């Protein structure tokens, strides 16, 4: 590929390997919280070194005697806040977060930011995404954690801490937390680690081992503030500053940093419309071997070969490279060797001199060790993007051992423009590791993007959605976006809205602002946000439309919406057409120009506005699940429900208004509830409406109403005469009710297609009522039971309340009627008569509010605007301090949590269980251990361990701590049947543990909902279902059905029929009659199906059957050898043991490893494991006897989609494909198959449990 014409970013170059696009980047370096700030520092020529003051040094654990040591260098290049992490975002408890190596925490957050920058924070779909990551050795573990466990080698806590700080879990932690299923490799080659990770990622993309790759590295020294001792002739700088290639270079200095890039094959990135930041043309990795004077010395030959190999892979010649980001450590010998090696490599294809800029980012931020290469890589990409070469710092005179005049290189000392040439701009990056692993990467600027030829953006109302997982993060999101828009006011708002909507996930805490311009957006984002809404997992909340009655209308309502055209205008025009014959004129005159407030046209205008608003919302995807109207508004609700057509409803409403107006009278609103108001009512007036606990209206003849007002005034009761000169819902109307009935008989009345609440009863309108003329007459005459109606509406799923019409009168009445305890989410769709907000803003804000409530998607962008994703700030992590101080260090003070919460602990979460504090010294001691292990403050003795965030590993830690502290001695399994402090103490008094093997295991006995029964898998125990508890709500009881024989009190089931009959009897003991809810994973799935069929044969209702990747075992025949192999594998999982290297151990081998234990590092003892093994054998023996019946109803199925199909004849049926399809003939209804991205045996891990739990929660709720 020496031909320069081929050396372009054409992704299709015959048989050549694909080029690799850089589509996302994120980093945190000293002095730079993100990539943009990093470039600002580079361009400005800033170094990020800083001195460490005496107080800071001593607080970090420094020896006061060292303060005067002239050889102690206290100049550092560090990341601020390495002790902080957003544990809640990634689902870590405070205790667990404090144990994880800060390097892993930083890499995790940065990887997420990189994915955001690439535009894939919402997920990668079904694509394989690899992770290639490296780090320095954990310095946190030996200095901060290991001393905590001195004298306790082999403890569970120590093993857990070591795992959380192991390089081996670095990449896999990212893959797990972000749900990435491609290759996941942790790498370490000393100082070249990061570039080797990039190279390996590129190779796997080229070889199609993955579709996208994350590559990066991190290096953090928690002890950096203690400085280092300078040694003459050593590799470190005497003053902490790095002077690469300079005459006064005297060594390097260390720094902290983390960076991650997202890579993709260029052709795929172009096809997917990704933003391409740069292109990796080629890379190479090699090792020096023994071609050097010592193990830690550099090798000119090794470096030259790596550079040449990368240029060859890139298909370019050296004269096309304009910038080399060197390793550049500023050591007296290292720099000359590197320049000589580079010159030797370049001389193979060019004789030019002084044309290529040579820099080292170490002069800005120090040597980042394992992360050094990613810092250089990011710098090079930014230089290509900005078309500028940043200066290399602290360079005045060249190293005398480097003759730059004879080389292709020069060292830039100021920011330089990088002009276009005859080839794309190219840069190269080097990283050389101690031990000789060299890496070199050739980068090229991104393919040219056509100039933005779009027309100038037109101002229109747009919704900018914001979401986060905590209130502080939500505020941070708004502030960061405001800064971005203020810094770049040229950003098109349509692009910003599109990026937020289409490229960022909608998290549970949401808000939104409606704006027309970047300037407005900055103001709205910096102001207090509209009240955030917390969206629960599972099915979206229902939507209820509220239609106000007369009195809220005003001339000009909806004018802006009408002028904008579209569905709203069409609806108004259609209504005006229908009404013209009866009115003898155009309703739009009354609607938009002038009208007597008491005229029929004014009230008709309100109904028309409501209908048009509902049509506009429907066009935008917002449709009601239920409705309620206040008086006149019920006609609009009934029309939308299909009781009337529009052509029938409008003339009826016209006649109704005319008849009411003809009767005259007056109406007064009174600030009393119905019981308090009754004594004031006389025969002359009627109770017209009950709107809330202190809001009613009274109607009647004018004189009678005036008399009532006089008596109310005497009693000091607040009242207000309504402006309508009529007395609806009173005896004043009696003379015209017959005529009204006649008009109603002229229209066919139909059953409602959408449920609505009627004012007459305050309950759901029945088909008979909706079709009854007498009911509609009563609706006009009788009291409006709005307060009762709102409560009825609320009881059906706590809907989001949307007022369809001007203002928020009904929302306020609804809030008062429901009380402060109801978490009402109200949405206003049109401004109040006195408000000045434009109609478009109010409607856009309503759409944003509905999105915030999780009930509606935001409108798709207008295709004519040709929106594009744009770079926006990354997620504003809500970082808190999670840190274990090293011995001798001064603790950093109180935590960031609420007052009174100890450092590193979270306050007790909301639970339906009453908080009962410890009542005895034993309860107090046990609770303190619980709080320490879970990292939660304020635990009550009746709080469920699993609702507090506990899991099986944490359970083992807890019981171990209780034992060590001399508080309780119970096995970890005891927590399953006794998951509260009080019950665990009671279990300990009984010897602890046996209840964990009882046939019915109460995972959560409390709650008002119908219980969910979870049938054991093949191992016979139902413990793993505890992972569902946090996702189903604290009011959902959950019981595990466990195999007979585990507790040693009953014999195992003799066959499939006996097992089914025994479990049915067990269910009926707990819940005598249906409806029943059943779930089972694997073996438990087909047993649950058998139980459901048996219950239906007995006449019982089964309202939920959920099978988790359940195989079909009928007719299978296993040898004893095959059964033993299965039992051994299952027993390892139950006992929490690693299989180790080599062949799978036998059952006897597993039992031998557990022999004599009493709960130590396993949830079961050796004796308990023996019983479990025996039950497993029996379960597998009788499994082929489960001949499936036919379940009458729908069923849920969850397929483990990440399993590789088992080979034909494989023993384990759980790994065979097509399990869901095999069950369809045995379910009469719909089998809803939900794929879960995990393997069969990983289905009860936290991630899959959360996904399954969300679906189950929605199903249980419905």
In terms of Cα–Cα distance, which of 39, 876, 20, 29 is closest to 504? 876
The sign of the CA dihedral 78, 80, 84, 88 is negative
| φ/ψ (deg, to 5) at 512 | -160, 150
Strand intervals (E) in 288-360: 323-325, 356-359
Active site (annotated) includes residue 1014: no
Separation CA 416–CA 412 (nearest Å): 8
How far apart, in Å, do the first and last CA atoms of the chain sit? 64
Candidate list 144, 184, 191, 730, residue with the active-site label: 191
| φ/ψ (deg, to 5) at 433 | -95, 145
Under DSSP, the state recorded for 824 is -
Candidate list 160, 367, 630, 775, residue with the active-site label: 367
Question: What is the chain's length?
Answer: 1262
Separation CA 725–CA 720 (nearest Å): 13
Do 691 and 549 touch, CB atoms closer than 8 A? Answer: no
Candidate list 254, 631, 952, 1162, residue with the active-site label: 631
Distance of CA 627 to the CA centre of its chain: 32
The sign of the CA dihedral 920, 923, 926, 932 is negative
Neighbours of 1073 (CB within 10 A): 11
Distances (CA, A) of 796 to 542, 588, 625, 945, 1037: 9, 38, 10, 31, 21
Active site (annotated) includes residue 631: yes
Neighbours of 396 (CB within 10 A): 9
HEC readout, 912-944: CCCCCCCCCHHHHHHHHHHHHHHCEECCCCCCC
HEC readout, 467-501: EECCHHHHHHHHHHHHHHHHHCCCCCHHHHHHHHH
The kind and range of the H/E element at 586 are none
HEC readout, 74-120: CEEECCCCCCEECHHHHCCCHHHHHHCCHHHHHHHHHHHHHHHHHCC
Distances (CA, A) of 592 to 547, 614, 617, 1088, 1181: 20, 19, 21, 64, 80
Separation CA 158–CA 930 (nearest Å): 18
Active site (annotated) includes residue 639: no
Active site (annotated) includes residue 367: yes
Distance of CA 417 to the CA centre of its chain: 42
Candidate list 113, 160, 327, 775, residue with the active-site label: 327
533 strand-pairing partners: 510
3-state secondary structure of 164: helix
Name, in order, each residue with C-beta under 8 angstroms of 814's C-beta and a sequence gap of 6 or more.
546, 790, 794, 801, 824, 826
Instruction: Assign residue 423 a region (left: φ > 0; alpha: ψ between -120 and 50; beta: otherwise).
Output: beta
Separation CA 439–CA 1245 (nearest Å): 38
| φ/ψ (deg, to 5) at 314 | -80, -20
Distance of CA 934 to the CA centre of its chain: 22
The kind and range of the H/E element at 1023 are none
Per DSSP, helices labelled H in 620-686 are 633-641, 646-663, 674-677
Name, in order, each residue with C-beta under 8 angstroms of 1208's C-beta and a sequence gap of 6 or more.
none
| φ/ψ (deg, to 5) at 1149 | -65, -40
Pairing verdict, β 84-85 and 72-73: unpaired
Do 1186 and 1113 touch, CB atoms closer than 8 A? Answer: yes
Separation CA 559–CA 833 (nearest Å): 12
Dihedral, CA atoms, 389, 395, 396, 402, nearest 10 degrees?
A: -100
Q: Catalytic amino acids?
A: 191, 327, 367, 631
């Amino acid at each position: 590929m020496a031909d320069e014409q081929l050396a372009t970013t054409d992704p299709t170059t015959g048989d050549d390997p694909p080029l690799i696009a850089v589509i996302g980047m994120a980093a945190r370096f000293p002095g730079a919280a993100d990539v943009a700030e990093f470039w600002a520092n580079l361009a400005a020529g800033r170094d990020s070194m800083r001195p460490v003051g005496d107080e800071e040094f001593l607080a970090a654990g420094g020896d006061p005697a060292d303060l005067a040591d002239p050889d102690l260098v206290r100049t550092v290049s560090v990341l601020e806040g390495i002790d902080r992490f957003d544990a809640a975002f990634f689902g870590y408890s405070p205790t667990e977060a404090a144990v994880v190596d800060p390097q892993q925490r930083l890499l995790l957050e940065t990887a997420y930011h990189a994915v955001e920058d690439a535009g894939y924070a919402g997920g990668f779909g079904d694509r394989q995404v690899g992770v290639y990551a490296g780090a320095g050795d954990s310095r946190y573990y030996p200095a901060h954690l290991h001393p905590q466990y001195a004298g306790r080698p082999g403890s569970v806590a120590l093993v857990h801490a070591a795992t959380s700080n192991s390089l081996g879990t670095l990449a896999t932690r990212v893959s797990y937390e972000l749900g990435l299923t491609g290759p996941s490799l942790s790498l370490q080659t000393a100082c070249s680690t990061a570039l080797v990770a990039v190279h390996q990622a590129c190779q796997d993309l080229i070889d199609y081992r993955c579709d996208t790759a994350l590559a990066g590295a991190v290096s953090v020294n928690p002890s950096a503030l203690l400085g280092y001792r300078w040694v003459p002739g050593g590799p470190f700088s005497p003053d902490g500053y790095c002077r690469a290639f300079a005459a006064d270079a005297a060594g390097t200095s260390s720094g902290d940093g983390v960076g991650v890039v997202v890579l993709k094959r260029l052709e795929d990135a172009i096809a997917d419309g990704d933003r391409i930041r740069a292109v990796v043309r080629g890379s190479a990795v090699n090792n020096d071997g023994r071609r050097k004077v010592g193990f830690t010395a550099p090798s000119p030959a090794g470096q030259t070969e790596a550079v040449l190999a990368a240029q060859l892979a890139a298909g370019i010649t050296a004269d096309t490279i304009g910038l080399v980001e060197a390793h550049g450590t500023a050591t007296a010998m290292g720099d000359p060797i590197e320049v000589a090696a580079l010159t030797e490599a370049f001389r193979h294809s060019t004789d030019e001199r002084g044309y290529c800029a040579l820099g080292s980012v170490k002069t800005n931020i120090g040597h980042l060790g394992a992360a050094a290469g990613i810092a250089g890589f990011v710098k090079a990409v930014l230089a290509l993007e900005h078309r500028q070469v940043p200066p290399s710092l602290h360079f005045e005179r060249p190293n005398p051992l480097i003759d730059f005049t004879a080389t292709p290189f020069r060292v830039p000392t100021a920011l330089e423009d990088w002009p276009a040439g005859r080839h794309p701009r190219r840069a190269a990056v080097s990283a050389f590791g101690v031990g000789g692993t060299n890496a070199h990467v050739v980068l090229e600027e991104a393919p040219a993007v056509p100039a933005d030829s779009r027309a100038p953006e037109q101002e229109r109302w747009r919704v900018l959605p914001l979401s986060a997982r905590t209130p502080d993060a939500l505020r941070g999101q708004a502030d960061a976006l405001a800064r971005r828009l203020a810094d770049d006011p040229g950003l098109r708002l349509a692009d910003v809205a599109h990026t937020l909507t289409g490229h960022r996930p909608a998290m549970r805490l949401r808000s939104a602002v409606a704006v027309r311009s970047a300037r407005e957006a900055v103001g709205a984002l910096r102001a207090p946000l509209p009240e955030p809404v917390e969206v629960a997992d599972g099915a979206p909340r229902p939507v209820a439309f509220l239609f106000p009655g007369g009195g809220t209308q005003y001339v000009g309502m909806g004018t802006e919406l009408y002028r904008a055209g579209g569905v709203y205008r069409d609806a108004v025009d259609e209504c005006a057409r229908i009404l013209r014959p009866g009115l003898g004129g155009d309703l739009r005159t009354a609607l938009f120009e002038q009208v007597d407030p008491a005229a029929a046209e004014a009230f008709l205008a309100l109904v028309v506005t409501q209908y048009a608003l509902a049509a506009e919302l429907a066009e935008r995807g917002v449709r009601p699940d239920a409705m309620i109207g206040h008086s006149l508004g019920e006609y609009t609700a009934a029309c939308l429900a299909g009781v009337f057509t529009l052509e029938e409803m409008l003339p009826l409403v016209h006649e109704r208004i005319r008849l009411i107006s003809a009767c005259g009278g007056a109406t007064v609103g009174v600030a009393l509830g119905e019981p308090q108001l009754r004594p004031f009512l006389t025969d002359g007036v009627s109770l017209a409406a009950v709107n809330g606990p202190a809001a009613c209206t009274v109607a009647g003849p004018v004189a009678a109403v005036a008399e009532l007002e006089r008596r109310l005034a005497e009693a000091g009761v607040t009242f207000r005469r309504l402006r309508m000169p009529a007395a609806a819902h009173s005896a004043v109307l009696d003379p015209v009710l017959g005529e009204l009935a006649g008009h109603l008989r002229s229209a066919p009345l139909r059953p409602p297609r959408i449920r609505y609440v009627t004012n007459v009863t305050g309950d759901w309108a029945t088909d008979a009522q909706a079709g009854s003329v007498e009911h509609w007459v009563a609706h006009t005459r009788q009291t409006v039971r709005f307060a009762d109606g709102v409560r009825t509406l609320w009881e059906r799923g706590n809907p989001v309340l949307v007022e369809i019409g001007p203002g928020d009168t009904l929302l306020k009445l609804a809030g008062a009627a429901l009380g402060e305890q109801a978490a009402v989410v109200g949405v206003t769709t049109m401004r109040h008569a006195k408000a000045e907000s434009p109609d478009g803003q109010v409607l856009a804000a309503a759409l944003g509010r509905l999105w915030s409530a999780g009930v509606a998607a935001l409108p798709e962008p207008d295709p004519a605007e040709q929106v594009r994703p744009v770079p926006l700030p990354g997620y504003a992590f809500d970082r808190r301090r999670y840190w274990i101080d090293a011995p001798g260090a001064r603790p950093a003070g109180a935590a960031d949590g609420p007052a009174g919460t100890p450092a590193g602990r979270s306050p007790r979460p909301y639970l339906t269980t009453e908080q009962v504090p410890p009542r005895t010294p034993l309860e107090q001691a046990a609770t303190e251990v619980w709080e320490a292990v879970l990292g939660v403050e304020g635990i009550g003795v009746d709080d469920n361990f699993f609702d507090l965030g506990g899991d099986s590993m944490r359970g083992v830690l807890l019981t171990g701590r209780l034992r060590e502290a001399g508080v309780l001695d119970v096995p970890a399994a005891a927590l399953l049947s006794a998951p509260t402090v009080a019950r665990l103490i009671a279990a300990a008094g009984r010897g602890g543990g046996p209840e964990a093997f009882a046939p019915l295991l109460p995972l959560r006995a409390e709650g008002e909902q119908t219980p969910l029964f979870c049938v054991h898998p093949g191992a016979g125990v139902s413990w793993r279902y505890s992972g569902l508890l946090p996702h189903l709500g604290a009011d959902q009881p959950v019981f595990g059905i466990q195999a007979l024989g585990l507790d040693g009190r009953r014999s195992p089931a003799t066959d499939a029929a006996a097992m089914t009959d025994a479990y049915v009897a067990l269910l009926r003991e707990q819940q005598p009659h249906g409806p029943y809810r059943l779930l089972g994973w694997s073996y438990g799935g087909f047993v649950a199906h058998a139980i459901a069929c048996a219950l239906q044969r007995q006449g019982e209702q089964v309202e939920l059957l959920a099978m988790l990747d359940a195989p079909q075992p009928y007719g299978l025949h296993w040898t004893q050898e095959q059964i033993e192999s299965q039992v051994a594998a299952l027993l390892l999982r139950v006992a929490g043991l690693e299989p180790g290297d080599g062949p799978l151990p036998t059952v006897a081998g597993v039992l031998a490893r557990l022999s004599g234990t009493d709960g130590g590092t396993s949830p079961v003892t050796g004796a308990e494991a023996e019983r479990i093994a025996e039950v497993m054998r029996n379960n597998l023996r009788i499994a082929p006897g489960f001949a499936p019946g036919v379940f009458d109803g729908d069923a849920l199925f969850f397929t483990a989609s990440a399993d590789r199909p088992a080979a034909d004849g494989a023993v384990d049926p759980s790994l065979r494909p097509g399990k869901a399809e095999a069950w369809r003939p045995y379910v009469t209804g719909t089998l809803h198959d939900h794929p879960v991205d995990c393997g069969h045996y990983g289905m009860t891990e936290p991630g899959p449990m959360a996904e399954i739990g969300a679906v189950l929660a929605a199903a249980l709720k419905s």
